[in-house]
Structure 1
Amino acid sequence: MSRKGSAEGSDRFEYLQTLVTEFQDTDSEGASAGKSGKFSYDPKNYNHLRDLQVTDLFLDMLTEDNDNFVEFGMGGLCNLSMVPEFRDFILQNDGINLITNCLSKRNEETVLSAITTLMNLITINSRSEITQPGVLHCMLRFSLSESPRLRNLASVFLQDCCSEEQVAQAEKQMQGQQTALGIPLPKD
């Protein structure tokens, strides 16, 4: 039985390695990256994903011009950001800045993953950067979105991640600016 488990682990690693290699060697629409992102849900894959430096790959994908790559990268980071080891890696590698930039993407899935990832990345040390005024203004705008998913998630972010004082200050700064100028809201 342990032999079978070892073989399955080896097969799993090889499969993930193949996906990463395929992604790095292709200009496709991100099918391999999407599969890698889906594998980041399963704790059995965490060691393999760490060894394959998939977190680096996902962070790199956030800077791509291809919206599908950005969506897959953001989704993969969202899945991994719940694990302290991956969370710390993301925080140490300019992840907050890269993820915050994804808040202005037109793809709603990308934006939802970015908000969720920011929530997952909150620690004592990262809270002030994640809840800085620019992000709060963005969340306040999203809380007015026609999309229920975006509106609700932004409201949860404001309620769970920010103090009442922070939200009141951001609302005061935005008074009269309740449009989404500069931040394209995803289409329904």
Structure 2
Amino acid sequence: MFSTREYLEKKTGPYGVGRLSYLQSLVTEFQDSSQSDHEIKEQLLANLANFAYDPINYEFFKKLNIVDLFLDCLEEENERLVEFAIGGLCNCCLDKELKEHIIGNSGIDLVIKCLSKPQENTVMSAITTLMYLVTPASKQDITALPVVECMLRYAQCHNKQIANLAQVYLKDYCTPAQIEQAKAIQQELAETFTEDLT
């Protein structure tokens, strides 16, 4: 459910902790937590990602650089942090300013790297985020040949959600020529692999 400012003010009351203050406390606690506090950091990042669902929070996200925090966490070794970070980006990247910020800060490359992560939720969020980030300027990077080839593989995935997302990506964002070129690369790789086995 999306919130209104009036609803938040009524819910918080005159002496309650406001949304901006609460988000600030989550960010501060995340940054102050040691690397060994895996569970705490995961919980804090998951909470921030949940706030990304509601557009009323986007101004706070901009003030607190929460999108930058999500982008930084995409490079973490902790797969749960990566999962929550890409989920947070997926939740908020349709906002025009946040989308431009993600694209302008190497976000596309970071999201593409998430396609090879072991967590299925991470992969689903990465595919969805890439589709949301498509603009006339970013489409070439998002539909680069290695990404299209990856989506062809995911379109055959046993996980139907991943397969369906990959099929939507291929249908809505790729040209038939791009798909054929990616299939040709797959064929070459398969032939090379077969030759290596014999």
Q: What TM-score comes out, normalization by structure 1 length?
A: 0.89
Q: Which residue in 2 is equivalent to 1:122?
A: 134
Contact 2:70 2:88 survives alignment (8 Å): yes
Alignment partner for residue 105 of structure 1, among 117, 138, 155?
117
Percent identity between the aligned chains?
44
- CA shift digits 1:59-84 (9 cap, x unpaired): 00000000111001000011111111
More helix per residue: 2
Decide which structure has the larger Cα Rg and report it: 2
1:37 aligns with 2:49: yes
* Deviation of 1:5 (Å): 3.0
* Deviation of 1:19 (Å): 0.9
Identify unmatched segments of 5+ residues in structure 2.
Answer: 194-198
Higher RCO (Cα < 8 Å, 6 or more apart): 1
* Deviation of 1:28 (Å): 2.8
1:154 aligns with 2:191: no
* Deviation of 1:170 (Å): 1.1
- CA shift digits 1:91-115 (9 cap, x unpaired): 0000011111110000000010000
Q: Which residue in 2 is equivalent to 1:23?
A: 30
How many residues of Structure 1 are paired with residues of Structure 2 in the alignment? 179
Alignment partner for residue 5 of structure 1, among 9, 12, 18?
9
Superposed, 1:55-94 pairs within 5 Å as 55-94=67-106
Contact 2:86 2:126 survives alignment (8 Å): yes
Contact 2:55 2:92 survives alignment (8 Å): no
> Which one-letter code corresponds to 2:31 in the other structure?
Q
Contact 2:102 2:108 survives alignment (8 Å): yes
Q: What TM-score comes out, normalization by structure 2 length?
A: 0.84
Q: Give RMSD over aligned pairs.
A: 2.2
SS in 2 for 1:175: helix
Q: Which residue in 1 is equivalent to 2:196?
A: none
> Which one-letter code corresponds to 2:32 in the other structure?
D
| Alpha-carbon distance between aligned partners in 2 of 1:12 and 1:111, rounded to the nearest angstrom | 30
Alignment partner for residue 152 of structure 2, among 122, 129, 140?
140
> Which one-letter code corresponds to 1:118 in the other structure?
L
SS in 1 for 2:49: helix
